[in-house]
Amino acid sequence: MKTLRSYLGDRWVEGSGARQTLVNPATEEPLAEASSDGLDLAAALEHARRKGGPTLRSLSFAERGMFLKEMANSDAKFDVDGAIFTLQTYAEIGTALGAAKFLVDGDGVQLGRSPRFHGQHISVPRHGVAVQINAFNFPAWGLAEKAASALLAGMPVLSKPATSSAMVAHRVMEILVEKKVLPEGTLSLLVGAPRDLPALLGAQDVLAFTGSGDTGMRIRALPNVIRDSVRVNVEADSLNAAVLGPDAEPGGDMYETFLKDVLRDMTQKAGQKCTAIRRVLVPEAHAATVRDDLAEGLKAVRVGNPALEETRMGPLASGSQLADVREGVARLVAEGKPAFGSSAPLAGKGFFMSPVLMEFAKGALAASVHAREVFGPVASLLPYSGKGADAAAIVARGNGGLVSSVYSEDAAFLEEVVSGIAPYHGRLFLGHPKIEMSPGPGTVLPQLVHGGPGRAGGGEELGGVRGLAFYMQRVALEGSRPVIQKLIGVQSS
């Protein structure tokens, strides 16, 4: 069986001790094993800080962007989940930022009576290492989207994929190392348990984490994180909502767009996307129709091994994920009514389950619907009055999320919902039938920010050049105008 190694301090190293086994979720056959026991994580971090950091800081944005371009080009099979597109987008941002090594933030400001007393904000790369801990569900994109922002900003990266799906990131790293794509110390990979990695970070380091809210909370409560103000970006749980407007009549184009997006989000990756629709708000007048139409759509979804052509939905990623989703469905069933499917085990090997659509009465308190992210092919139907303010109040009960979507062509309704729920989200998707090839709300695009307040972790990633801010320190330069302009490379006028 293959043993996955880690790439630390610019060499491949193998953990000792008990190994974790990675299995094929469709067959439960063992695929590989990995361990991080005994690896010197402190030395790996220090190597990245001492070797990778100064190299990246000596390069321009355009030069850093070239490395991202080479990463994107290094293997054609690499665009699982849109990883290549994200790398390409950040490579282009690097080209656009050009020969600079830091960002100039806004215009200079006159601070005194004469223009000589001057202020200028700039953003410079932090002097530490960026530790990036990814979730199991986007094994290639997770590595790429986080590393792209950090490397372009000028910080070295230590990436830790979720162990259960680490084979993908491991293969990516093998290719990058074989082809010598990146300079020494700029990218490290830790496979296996993170051990005390977050506890080893200091004031110039940053930690970007995608995963469960519980783990995010443990990281944020670490004494070093609190004492040294270690920057932490958490992307965690989210009860994303889709709101159908009262004007979107069944059978119409907007209604069909809505149905398509809900069905896609419930079944794509077996619902294992942090941006998938979990709560479906429908005007009560249309609730029964929506239920029947979704049930019909779900019935057509063939669940099975993704190796087979007829399969439309594969298994959950692991046995523990399946157990967790079943427990979540049980909680929903205690408060509502199954309208399609159940979480009863499917026969045979593999972590398969049927899609599940839950139905709730209008105004039901249904605490779990708004508080428990069921990370699988599961969504809940919530009827509402048809008023925008009522829909917004229900959505807000999720206490902060990554993305919600609205399907309406009624400008007043849209305005009411958007203004009501915008502060609770990092992104709002406004469904529209005339958008060709619409990816729906569940797809994260590198041009737009990804993250959300409250339950979603309070973080923010991507969003084009906005994604660099987390890896940089903004600093105000205050003093004589010609001195500052010389420092930032502007010709004095």
- The encoded tokens of residue 480 equal 């004589």
Q: Give the separation between CA 409 and CA 389, rounded to whole angstroms.
A: 16
Q: Which string of b and e fits 395-411 if b means at least 16 CB within 10 Å?
A: bbbbebbbbbbbbbbee
Contact window for its own copies (CB under 8 A) among 11-19, 42-50, 300-308, 421-429? 421-429
For its own copies, the binding residues in 437-476 under the rule CB under 8 A are: 437-438, 441, 445, 447-449, 453-460, 463-464, 466, 472-476
Contact window for its own copies (CB under 8 A) among 2-10, 22-30, 158-166, 197-205? 197-205
Closest contact distance (angstroms) between CB of 193 and its own copies is: 22
Rule CB under 8 A: say whether 386 interacts with its own copies: no
Contact window for its own copies (CB under 8 A) among 28-36, 40-48, 222-230, 263-271? 222-230
465 CB-near residues (< 8 Å, 6+ apart): 93, 97, 103
- The answer to whether 235 is a known catalytic residue is yes
Rule CB under 8 A: say whether 425 interacts with its own copies: yes
Among 76, 221, 300, 347, binds its own copies (CB under 8 A): 221
Q: x/- binding map, residues 111-150, to its own copies, per CB under 8 A?
A: xxxx-xx-x-xx-xxxx-----------------------
Closest contact distance (angstroms) between CB of 60 and its own copies is: 14
Could you write out the three-class secondary structure of 370-413? Answer: HHCCCCCCEEEEEEECCCHHHHHHHHHCCCCEEEEEEECCCHHH
Among 217, 344, 367, 393, binds its own copies (CB under 8 A): 217
Contact window for its own copies (CB under 8 A) among 70-78, 281-289, 335-343, 416-424? 416-424
- The answer to whether 310 is a known catalytic residue is no
Q: Give the separation between CA 243 and CA 229, rounded to whole angstroms.
A: 38
Candidate list 145, 235, 373, 460, residue with the active-site label: 235
Rule CB under 8 A: say whether 180 interacts with its own copies: no
Identify the sign of the CA torsion 10, 11, 12, 17. Answer: negative
**CB closer to its own copies out of 124 and 333:** 124
Q: Give the angle 447-312-431 at the CA atoms, nearest 5°.
A: 40
**CB closer to its own copies out of 311 and 485:** 485
Candidate list 274, 416, 460, 461, residue with the active-site label: 274
Closest contact distance (angstroms) between CB of 316 and its own copies is: 26
Under rule CB under 8 A, how many of the chain's residues touch its own copies? 83
Identify the sign of the CA torsion 326, 329, 334, 339. Answer: negative
CB 461 within 8 A of CB 235: yes
Identify the sign of the CA torsion 26, 29, 34, 35. Answer: positive
Contact window for its own copies (CB under 8 A) among 74-82, 225-233, 266-274, 301-309? 225-233
Closest contact distance (angstroms) between CB of 111 and its own copies is: 6
Catalytic residues: 235, 274
